[in-house]
Amino acid sequence: MAIPATVLATVLATTSEIIRDILDEDSLEITEQTQRSALESWDSMAQIQIICAIEKDFAIKFSLDELEQLNQMDSVGDVVSLVSVKTSA
């Protein structure tokens, strides 16, 4: 199913804010193309913290399978898509 662009944009904005806070990088520009592997501070602990903050902010809960998927994802866009699907469900 297609996710409306407005939903994607909102999820991206909120997710970006979470990532900036957790990584303590206020001026970091984040787009759907931003890659986790390119950011040194986005280590495995930061990953856990970001995922948990996303769960809290969007009031969703990832399954163990989804957590595994999220750990494999490198681009912020993929994370935003998964979160958008879950919030629209």
Site residues (vs another protein, CB under 8 A): 18, 21-24, 45, 48-49, 52-53, 56, 64, 67
Q: Is residue 76 packed enough to be buried (19+ CB in 10 Å), middle (13-18) or exposed (0-12)?
A: buried
CB nearer to another protein: pick between 33 and 44: 44
Alpha-helix runs per DSSP H in 1-89: 5-23, 44-58, 64-72, 76-88
CB nearer to another protein: pick between 3 and 53: 53
Min dist CB 4 to another protein, Å, is 27
Q: Are 22 and 47 in contact (CB under 8 A)?
A: no
CB nearer to another protein: pick between 9 and 48: 48
